[in-house]
């Protein structure tokens, strides 16, 4: 019997060695270990053995079973990993083929930069105010200290609405929104008003009869020109990095006093002077100033009690500077090949 | 304003490097645009003296000259100039010289060597106005005090530097040499040397020749006049011509030049005219008679109105006050007696006149901004001083001064503490006083009096600006924002942001288009003749027809962009825009109240014309590799993301009560007429509705419209009203428990008339199955073989689930029976 067991083990191991697939392996398991298998057949003969031999043979039989099972298991693992390796090899693909794209659009560059600026201002506590694009003379001019016959009106190149006796017009600046806000809200006020404005400029690489402005207004007790400078410096550092420098130049706007124009150190030469900044080292960026007492008074705010500052920047110019766009018309032509780049 | 450095130096010692000066003035408020040195495009041109002029051996038209150019030996030059002779001084461009037209090199002319070229006025970039004695055709024979070898720039005074300033409208005083000299002096803290003009004069009084009456002292508070007799009209001296040229003014003759010179120097417009043409020797400053005419100096006859002010003699206007003189009253060759005028005209008066006549001049540009009201007499005297200096005539000593009260000089309290608090600075009161005094402000008893030329000073803020700009804007400290502020987007701003981001996530590229368009779009998108969308807000003064009306629909803008892309051979485009439409609001004829948001202020200002309604629209457009269901899918996903539910798509002809929201005015409800139905394919378009509201429109663009926009491919457009969407969006998100029990699924196919919309079938299934219904999914629509003509087979997979326990087959079957019953009401029968 011992020989029989040893023979079975030897046979099993030999057949296992030759076995090449998982199905055949299963057949071997049945053949050797199954209910009608060879080992079972031998074990059935155990009854005929003497009482001394029975435990010895039993032990041996169990060992043979264990050995075969282990051999089966390790063969199975080997076969499985070989099969997987084969499948993996077969499944190899060209990873350089292009991926499958889900549709995915982009925001307009004007929106992108506007969002960026909005976020910076919201972080500084500015709310965003909207207002009508077609407004009246009072809100666009008169309340802003530009009464009828004011010479500065010439520079605004206003579009007027037919049949309204020049009282209704396309806003030339989003400062009109500031007037609406001041009429409806008591200080403290801290807002920006982004939006479309309209001026009668013929279309070319740097002009458009429609463009976007972002104007800001802060009114509270004790607001100073230092606050104006600090706020604009913060904005520009966040937009253009900590190395950029601002330069404040006296200027004139009817709605602010003192007024200034703000230049930023040239993006190209950093302030040394080059052809891009016409050897100035600086590029004109925006207009700003302390809100004129007449404007506050017109909006029912006492200039003795409150002060404030205002500023206005042109979005197109910021967008063009940011993305090196050399022709403003591209922004309004909306060629998909252009829009895809942002 | 162009400033001559030579002229400036007469009043202030401006010997600092030009670049420093320009920077310092820019930083103190007088912005320098650029500066240019005259003749900087000319080099190696010297004065030459012609020693001999002889014939050319090979050419009759040429001459060979030996020229002394200040060196040991003369040089030889070949010329064709007939107007030069031995002994003449001429400009010689030597070998290697640079001229505005190019470089000069020595060469052989018909076999004879020439080491340079003689220059004419034009070769040097000059004109006869600069040197009236020169021969305009030939070589410039110099009659200046110079010697051979002198550099031409020095020799003829072509070496001034001119600075171009951008002067803001509040500082007309800086439109003058003295004004800018004052700014220079104040900026650097150096002395300003302006002395009061004086003239000798001959005995007599201007009143012996002329009588002046002002009939409107509001429009003209002051009028000074004087007489110059026995005038000698001729060119003015070189120094004056040089300065005028550097200031960008063409020299004409001594009298015209003097008026321009004084205007440039002091900023006060002057007028000189011939006494012969002042009928009755009587000047009347009066309003024009309506319909009165005058031929102005520019040769145009102009009709005047009674609001305009004129300088008239006894019969006719001789000048439009402060704007332009009359054609026949000017200085001529044979003028004998000249009247000089120096007056103050009220700015608004001049501005209105100039605007209404559409006539601008140097004088009107200054008057309408405001000249110094107290300077008229000084300038008259300066003119006379110059007349005597130039020996141009005899000035009659007694002058006429019609003087009425002019605007007071502004007075503002001196409040250094307030100024520092306002600026955020710590400037001492002494420094402030110093800055202000440099600018000629005076301070007495705590009150600042502004100089009379500073018409822009009104308040403490103006004084703060003066202090700040001399102190230096860039020395003001920068402070971080103090205090707590809370900011958040409004609900609408958040909603628009979500719409925008969702559209991009769904594959749309955002576009930006103009708000004004061509009215041709009415026809291009087939708006019916009676469509309210044809009533657009028009611009009175558009740049052109293409931008002349405010769009009442965003669809044409979208189609324009789709067309642009199609014609640029972009094979597909999926675009969106969030922008406004502009719908005019009718004025109520019975005068009843309008209900606009800003009514209160508008009524306060007496505006009778309401502002248009500006609804914000989302417009989506696409072509290339898409169909109706592509754009519909995009809109469905968008609306799902925005949590707008119960959306239906119904054909335009579906009978239903619809409105598109309220127009904020007496107009009342917006109806379906406010949509562009005719722009769409009638069988492939729909209103997007929720309940009884139309919130948008969607569909394939009508083939004719596609053709109108030159798009050669099927194009799809949808438009949704943002305000309505927002009102319908369900803001609240509530979690529903995940199911505990399995779902039962049944598939059914029904046969139904082709005309029955799928949406109705789905509704019937929902109704029939009731609350255990989880999901209805359409999986097949079939027409054709085995299906009768006019019918279609529609198949759904219906998923049912209960939250109380596993559904039994009986429950599911019974629900499906009810669904079939509901379907049967639509004429749908179960397909075998």
What is the pLDDT, as a whole number, of residue B610? 82
- Rounded to whole angstroms, the Cα distance separating B516 from B523 reads 16
Query: A24 and A162: one domain?
Result: no
B436 in the same domain as B385 = no
* pLDDT beyond 80 at B242: yes
Residues B259 and B380 both lie in one domain: yes
Q: Are residues B620 and B695 located together in one domain of the fold?
A: yes
Ranking B41-55, B144-158, B658-672, B784-798 by mean pLDDT, the lowest is B658-672
Residues B49 and B30 in one domain: no
Whichever domain contains B230, its CATH number is 3.50.40.10
The reply to whether residue B369 touches residue A151, judged by beta carbons under 8 angstroms, is yes
Specify whether A82 is located in the same domain as A115.
Answer: no
- Cβ neighbours for B131, distance < 8 A, ≥ 6 positions apart: B121, B140, B156, B238, B241
Q: Which pLDDT value is given to residue B596?
A: 44
The residues that bridge with A219 in the sheet, in sequence order, are A189, A308
Q: Tell me how far apart the alpha carbons of residues B285 and B296 are, in angstroms, rounded to a whole number.
A: 17
The pLDDT value given to residue A103: 84
Question: How would residue B481 be classed by pLDDT, with cut points 50, 70 and 90?
Answer: confident
Nearest to B125 by CA among B2, B251, B239, B41: B41
Angle (deg, nearest 10), helices B429-438 and B460-471: 90
Shared-domain flag, residues B341 and B437: no
- Indicate if the pLDDT at residue B588 is higher than 80: no
Asked, for residue A138, whether it belongs to a domain, the answer is: yes
Q: Tell me if B512 and A331 make a contact (CB, 8 A cut-off).
A: yes
Per-residue confidence (pLDDT) for residue B663, from 0 to 100: 55
Cβ-based neighbour number of residue B603 at 10 Å = 13
Residue B608 has pLDDT above 80, yes or no: no
Q: What pLDDT sits at residue B616?
A: 94
Tell me the nearest-neighbour CA distance from B219 into chain A, angstroms: 15
> B337-365 pLDDT, tens per residue?
999 999 999 999 999 999 999 999 999 99
Domain ranges, residue B429: 414-475
Alpha-carbon gap, residue B773 to B763, rounded angstroms: 12
Q: Is the pLDDT of residue B666 over 60?
A: no
Nearest chain B residue (CA) to A249: B27
B390 pLDDT band, cuts 50/70/90, is: very high
Q: Residues, chain B, total?
A: 832
- One domain, residues B529 and B626: yes
Do A83 and A116 sit in the same domain of this protein? no
Least confident of A270-284, A305-319, B726-740: A270-284
Chain B residues in contact with A334 by the CB 8 A cut-off are: 509, 511-513, 561, 564-565, 575
Question: Does an H or E element contain B32, and which?
Answer: strand B31-37
Q: What is the pLDDT of residue B590?
A: 46
Which of A133, A248, A254 is nearest residue B473 as measured by Cβ atoms? Answer: A248
Which DSSP helix (H) or strand (E) runs through B275?
none
Report the pLDDT value the prediction gives residue A10, as an integer from 0 to 100.
85
Q: Which residues pair with B522 in a beta bridge?
A: none
Same domain, B88 and B214: no
Same domain? A156 vs A280: yes
pLDDT tops 70 at residue B604: no
Q: Please name every residue paired with A213 in a beta bridge, in sequence order, or none if there are none.
A: A195, A314
A251: containing domain? 109-339
Tell me how far CA of residue B551 lies from CA of A163, B520, B663, in angstroms.
17, 11, 16
Q: Do A225 and B480 touch (CB under 8 A)?
A: no
Look at residues B440, B467, B436 and name the one whose alpha carbon lies nearest to residue B453. B440
Average pLDDT of the residues in B178-203: 95
Report which secondary-structure segment, H or E, holds B293: strand B293-295
Rounded Cα distance between A312 and A156, Å, is 14
What contacts B292, CB < 8 A, 6 or more positions away?
Answer: B303, B304, B310, B316, B317
Q: What is the mean pLDDT of residues B424-450?
A: 96
Q: CATH number of the domain that B776 lies in?
A: 3.30.70.380
**Do B309 and B219 form a contact (C-beta atoms < 8 A)?**
yes
- The pLDDT confidence band at residue B597, using thresholds 50, 70 and 90, is very low
φ, ψ of residue A229 to 5 degrees: the values are: -65, -45
Q: Could you give the 3-state DSSP secondary structure of residue A318?
A: helix
Q: Is A50 left (phi over 0), alpha (psi -120 to 50) or beta?
A: beta
**What are B263's two structure tokens?**
């205007």
Query: How far is B354 from B340, CA to CA, in rounded Å?
Result: 22
Contacts of A254 in chain B (CB under 8 A): 170
Answer whether B582 sits within 8 Å of A134, measured CB to CB: yes
Query: Which residue among A102, A142, A231 sits closest to B481, beta carbon to beta carbon?
Result: A231
Closest in A130, A230, A293 to B481, CB measured: A230
Mean pLDDT computed over B573-590:
82
What is the mean pLDDT of the segment spanning B114-134? 88
Q: Indicate whether B734 belongs to any domain.
A: no
pLDDT value at B602 more than 80? no
Which residues of B, range 530-569, sit inside 8 Å of A by Cβ? 537-543, 547, 550, 561, 564-565, 568
DSSP, res B546? G
Edge-to-edge strands, sheet with B715-721: B509-510, B573-580, B616-623, B715-721, B693-701, B680-690, B647-650
Mutate to test the interface with B, among A257, A315, A329 (most CBs of B within 10 A): A257
Nearest to B422 among A290, A332, A337 (CB): A290
If asked whether residues A202 and A73 sit together in one domain, one would say: no
The span from the CA of A104 to the CA of A102, in Å, is 6
| Confidence grade of residue A40 (pLDDT, cut at 50, 70, 90) | confident
pLDDT at B633 exceeding the cut of 60: yes
Q: Say if residue A121 is in the same domain as residue A67.
A: no
Calpha distance A215→A126 (Å, rounded): 11
Greater model confidence, B629 or A72: B629
Query: Predicted confidence band at B587 (pLDDT cuts at 50, 70, 90)?
Result: low
In a domain, A8, yes or no: yes
Is pLDDT at B421 greater than 90 in this prediction? yes
Judged against a pLDDT cut of 50, whether residue B589 lies above it is answered with: no
Q: How confident is the model at residue B102 (pLDDT cuts 50, 70, 90)?
A: confident
List pLDDT tens digits, range A254-305: 999 999 999 998 877 877 888 777 778 888 889 999 999 999 999 999 999 9
Based on the fold, state whether residues B783 and B675 are members of the same structural domain: no
**pLDDT tens digits for range A226-256:** 999 999 999 999 988 888 899 999 999 999 9
In a domain, A95, yes or no: no
* CB-CB contact of A82 with A22 (8 Å): no
Residue A86 sits in the same domain as residue A118: no
Kindly determine whether residue B459 and residue A106, on different chains, have CB atoms separated by under 8 Å: no
The pLDDT score that the predictor gives to residue B145 is 86
Do B748 and B817 contact (CB within 8 A), yes or no?
no
Mean pLDDT in chain B?
Answer: 91
Q: What is the largest CA-CA distance in chain B?
A: 131
Give the per-residue pLDDT at A153.
76
Give chain A positions within 8 Å (CB) of B512. Answer: 108, 110-111, 331-332, 334
- Pair A200, A332 in one domain: yes
**B574 and B668 part of one domain:** yes
The CATH number of residue B707's host domain is 3.30.930.10
Helix (H) or strand (E) holding B819: helix B809-824
Do B510 and A139 lie within an 8 Å CB cutoff?
no
Query: What sign has the CA pseudo-torsion B443, B446, B447, B450?
Result: positive
Q: Are residues B238 and B346 in the same domain?
A: yes
Same domain, B625 and B717: yes
**A249–B479 CB contact, under 8 Å:** no
For B251-273, what is each residue's pLDDT tens digit?
889 999 999 999 999 999 999 98
Share of chain B above pLDDT 70, in %: 95
Residue B481 included in any domain = no
Nearest-by-Cβ selection for B611 from A135, A165, A251: A135
CB–CB of A328/A205 below 8 Å? Answer: yes
Question: Quick one: pLDDT at residue B832?
Answer: 67
pLDDT above 90 (res A7): no
Q: What is the CATH number of the domain that holds B462?
A: 3.30.56.10
Q: Which two three-digit tokens encode residue B220? A: 């003209």
d(CA B98, CA B101): 8
Work out the pLDDT band at B591, boundaries 50, 70, 90: very low
Are B694 and B658 contacting, i.e. CB atoms less than 8 angstroms apart?
yes
Examine the pLDDT at B161 and tell me if it is beyond 70: yes
A195 torsion bin: left (phi>0), alpha (psi -120 to 50), beta (else) = left
For residues B551 and A75, give the distance between their C-alpha atoms in angstroms, rounded to a whole number.
Answer: 79
For the stretch B792-821, pLDDT in tens is 999 999 999 998 889 999 999 999 999 999
Closest C-alpha among B401, B369, B339, B409 to residue B267: B369
DSSP secondary structure code for residue B488 in this structure: -
How many C-beta neighbours within 10 Å does residue B780 have? 12
Give the number of C-alpha atoms closer than 13 A to the C-alpha of residue B289, restricted to the C-beta side. 7
DSSP letter at B657? -
CATH (domain of A156): 3.30.930.10
State chain A's mean pLDDT as an integer.
90
pLDDT number for residue B12:
96
Per-residue pLDDT of A158-206, as tens digits, reads 999 988 888 899 999 999 999 999 998 999 999 999 999 999 988 998 8
C-alpha dist (Å) from residue B830 to A176, B754, B799 = 65, 15, 18
Q: How far apart are CA A267 and CA A284, in angstroms?
A: 12
Q: What is the pLDDT of residue B263?
A: 96
Q: Which residues 6+ apart lie within 8 Å of A234 measured at CB?
A: A120, A124, B480, B481
Of A90, A120, A141, the last residue of a domain is: A90
Radius of gyration of chain B (CA): 42
Share of chain A above pLDDT 90, in %: 56
Residue B594 has what pLDDT?
A: 43
Share of chain B above pLDDT 90, in %: 74
Strand, coil or helix: what is B164? strand
Reading the block at residue A147, the tokens are 């009464």
Contacts 24+ apart (CB under 8 A), B76-80: B76/B112, B76/B113, B76/B114, B76/B115, B77/B48, B77/B114, B77/B115, B77/B116, B77/B117, B77/B118, B78/B109, B78/B110, B78/B112, B78/B113, B78/B114, B79/B114, B79/B117, B79/B118, B79/B139
Contacts 24+ apart (CB under 8 A), B121-125: B123/B91, B123/B93, B123/B99, B124/B39, B124/B42, B124/B45, B124/B91, B124/B99, B124/B100, B124/B152, B124/B158, B125/B39, B125/B41, B125/B42, B125/B100
Q: Are residues B467 and B532 in the same domain?
A: no
Q: What mean pLDDT do residues B669-697 have?
A: 87
Give the residue with greater pLDDT, A15 vs B579: B579
Q: Quick check: is B723 in a domain?
A: yes
Instruction: Please write the tens of the pLDDT for every residue from B484-510.
Output: 667 889 999 999 999 999 999 999 999
Q: Do A134 and B474 touch (CB under 8 A)?
A: no
Secondary structure of B568-594 as H, E, C letters: CCCCCEEEEEEEECCECCCCCCCCCCC
Residue B160, token pair as written in the block: 């001034």
A122, containing H or E segment: helix A109-123
Host H or E run for residue B183 = helix B177-188
Q: What are the CA-CA distances from residue B152 to residues B40, B93, B94, B124 (Å)?
A: 11, 9, 11, 10
User: Within this chain, do residues A153 and A10 fall inside the same structural domain, yes or no?
Assistant: no
Least confident of A123-127, A274-278, B218-222, B819-823: A274-278
| pLDDT in the model for residue B674 | 83
CA distance B278 to A200: 43
CB contact under 8 A, B537 and A133: no
ipTM score assigned to the predicted complex = 0.86
Same domain? For A58 and A125 the reply is: no
* Count of domains observed in chain B: 6
Query: Looking at residue B135, which CATH number applies to its domain?
Result: 2.40.50.140
- Based on the fold, state whether residues A52 and A174 are members of the same structural domain: no
A334, A337, A340, A341: best mutation site toward chain B, by most B Cβ within 10 Å?
A: A334
Measured in residues, chain A has a length of 342
Residue B826 and residue B832: Cα distance in Å, rounded? 18
Q: Are A105 and B507 a contacting pair at CB < 8 A? A: yes
What pLDDT was estimated at residue A260? 96
């Amino acid at each position: 019997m011992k020989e029989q067991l040893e023979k079975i083990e030897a046979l099993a191991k030999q057949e296992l060695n030759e076995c090449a697939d998982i199905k055949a392996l299963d057949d071997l398991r049945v053949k050797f270990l199954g209910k009608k298998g060879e080992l079972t057949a031998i074990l059935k003969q155990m009854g005929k053995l003497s009482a001394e031999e029975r435990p010895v043979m039993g032990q041996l039989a169990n060992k043979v079973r264990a050995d075969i099972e282990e051999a089966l298991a390790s063969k199975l693992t080997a076969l499985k990993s070989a099969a997987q390796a084969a499948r993996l090899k077969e499944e190899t693909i060209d990873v350089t083929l292009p991926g499958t794209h889900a549709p995915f659009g982009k925001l307009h560059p004007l929106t992108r930069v506007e969002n960026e600026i909005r976020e910076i201002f919201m972080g500084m506590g500015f709310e965003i105010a909207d207002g009508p694009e077609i407004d009246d003379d009072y809100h666009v001019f008169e309340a802003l200290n530009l009464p009828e016959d004011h010479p500065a009106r010439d520079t605004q190149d206003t579009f007027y609405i037919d049949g309204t006796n020049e009282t209704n017009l396309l806003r030339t600046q989003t400062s009109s929104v500031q007037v609406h806000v001041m009429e409806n809200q008591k200080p403290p006020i801290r807002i920006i008003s982004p939006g479309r404005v309209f001026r009668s400029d013929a279309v070319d690489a740097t002009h458009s009869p429609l463009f976007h402005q972002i104007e800001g207004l802060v009114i509270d007790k004790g607001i100073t020109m230092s606050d104006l400078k600090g706020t604009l410096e913060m904005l520009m550092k966040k937009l253009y990095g900590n190395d950029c420098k601002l330069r404040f130049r006296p200027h004139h706007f009817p709605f602010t006093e003192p007024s200034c124009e703000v230049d930023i150190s040239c993006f190209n030469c950093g302030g040394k002077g080059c052809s891009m900044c016409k050897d100035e080292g600086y590029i004109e960026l925006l207009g700003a100033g302390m809100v004129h007492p007449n404007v506050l008074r017109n909006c029912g705010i006492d200039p003795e009690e409150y002060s404030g500052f205002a500023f206005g920047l042109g979005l197109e110019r910021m967008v063009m500077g940011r993305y090196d766009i050399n022709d403003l018309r591209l922004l309004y032509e909306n060629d998909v090949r252009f829009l895809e780049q942002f | 304003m162009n400033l001559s450095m030579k002229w400036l130096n007469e009043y202030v010692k401006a010997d600092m490097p030009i670049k420093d000066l320009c920077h310092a003035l820019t930083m103190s408020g007088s912005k320098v645009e650029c500066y240019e040195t005259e003749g900087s495009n000319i080099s190696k041109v010297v004065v030459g003296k012609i020693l001999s002029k002889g014939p050319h051996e090979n050419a009759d038209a040429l001459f060979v000259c030996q020229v002394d150019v200040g060196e040991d030996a003369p040089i030889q030059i070949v010329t064709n100039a007939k107007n030069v002779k031995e002994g003449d001084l001429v400009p010689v461009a030597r070998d290697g010289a640079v001229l505005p037209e190019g470089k000069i090199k020595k060469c052989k002319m018909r076999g004879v060597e020439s080491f340079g070229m003689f220059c004419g006025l034009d070769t040097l970039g000059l004109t006869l106005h600069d040197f009236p004695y020169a021969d305009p055709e030939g070589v410039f024979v110099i009659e200046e005090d110079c010697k051979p070898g002198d550099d031409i720039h020095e020799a003829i005074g072509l070496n001034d530097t001119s600075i171009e300033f951008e002067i803001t409208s509040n500082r007309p005083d800086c439109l003058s040499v003295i004004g800018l000299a004052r700014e220079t002096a104040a900026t650097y803290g150096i002395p300003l040397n302006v002395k009061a003009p004086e003239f000798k004069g001959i005995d007599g009084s201007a009143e012996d020749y002329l009588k002046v009456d002002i009939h409107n002292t509001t429009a003209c508070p002051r009028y000074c006049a004087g007489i110059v007799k026995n005038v000698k009209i001729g060119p003015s001296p070189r120094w004056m011509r040089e300065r005028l040229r550097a200031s960008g003014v063409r020299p004409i003759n001594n009298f015209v030049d003097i008026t321009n010179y004084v205007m440039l120097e002091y900023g006060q417009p002057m007028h000189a005219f011939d006494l012969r043409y002042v009928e009755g020797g009587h000047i009347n400053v009066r309003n024009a008679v309506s319909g009165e005419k005058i031929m102005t100096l520019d040769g145009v006859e102009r009709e005047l109105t009674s609001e305009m002010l004129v300088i008239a003699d006894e019969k006719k206007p001789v000048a439009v006050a402060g704007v332009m003189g009359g054609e026949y009253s000017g200085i001529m060759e044979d003028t004998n007696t000249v009247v000089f005028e120096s007056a103050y005209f009220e700015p608004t008066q001049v501005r209105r006149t100039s605007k209404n006549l559409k006539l601008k001049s140097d004088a009107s540009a200054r008057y309408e901004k405001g000249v110094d009201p107290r300077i008229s007499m000084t300038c008259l005297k300066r003119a006379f001083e110059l007349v005597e200096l130039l020996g141009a005539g005899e000035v009659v000593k007694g002058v006429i001064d019609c003087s009425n009260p002019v605007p007071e000089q502004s007075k503002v309290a001196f409040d250094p503490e307030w100024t520092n608090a306002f600026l955020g600075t710590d400037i001492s009161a002494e420094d402030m006083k110093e800055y202000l005094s440099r600018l000629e402000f005076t301070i007495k008893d705590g009150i600042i009096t502004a100089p009379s030329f500073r018409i822009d000073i009104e308040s403490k803020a103006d004084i703060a600006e003066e202090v700040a700009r001399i102190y230096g804007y860039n020395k003001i400290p920068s402070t971080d924002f103090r205090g707590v502020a809370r900011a958040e987007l409004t609900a609408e701003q958040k909603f628009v942001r979500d719409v925008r981001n969702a559209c991009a996530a769904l594959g749309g590229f955002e576009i930006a288009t103009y708000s004004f368009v061509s009215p041709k779009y009415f026809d291009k998108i087939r708006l019916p003749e009676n469509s309210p969308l044809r009533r657009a807000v028009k611009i009175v003064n558009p740049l052109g027809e293409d931008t002349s009306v405010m769009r009442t629909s965003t669809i044409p803008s979208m189609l324009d962009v789709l067309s642009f892309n199609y014609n640029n051979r972009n094979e597909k485009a999926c675009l969106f825009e969030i922008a406004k439409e502009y719908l005019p609001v009718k004025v109520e004829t019975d005068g009843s109240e309008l209900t606009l948001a800003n009514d209160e202020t508008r009524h306060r200002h007496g505006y009778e014309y309401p502002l248009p309604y500006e609804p914000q629209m989302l417009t989506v457009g696409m072509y290339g590799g898409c169909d109706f269901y592509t754009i519909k899918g995009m809109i469905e996903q968008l609306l799902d993301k925005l949590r707008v539910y119960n959306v239906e798509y119904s054909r335009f002809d579906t009978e239903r009560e619809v409105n598109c929201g309220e127009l904020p005015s007496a107009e009342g409800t917006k109806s379906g007429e406010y949509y562009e139905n005719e722009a769409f394919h009638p069988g492939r378009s729909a209103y997007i509705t929720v309940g009884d509201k139309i919130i948008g429109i969607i569909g394939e663009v009508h083939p004719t419209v596609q053709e109108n926009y030159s798009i050669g491919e099927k194009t799809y457009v949808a438009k949704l009203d943002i305000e309505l969407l927002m009102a319908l969006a369900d803001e609240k998100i509530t979690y529903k428990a995940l199911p505990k029990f399995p779902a039962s699924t049944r598939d059914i196919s029904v046969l139904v008339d082709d005309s029955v919309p799928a949406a109705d079938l789905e509704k019937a299934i929902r109704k029939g199955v009731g609350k255990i219904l989880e999901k209805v999914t359409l999986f097949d629509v079939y027409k054709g073989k085995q299906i009768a003509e006019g019918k279609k087979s529609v198949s759904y997979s219906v998923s049912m689930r209960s939250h109380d326990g596993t559904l039994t087959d009986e429950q599911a079957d019974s629900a499906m029976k009810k669904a079939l019953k509901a379907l049967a009401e639509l004429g749908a029968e179960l397909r075998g």
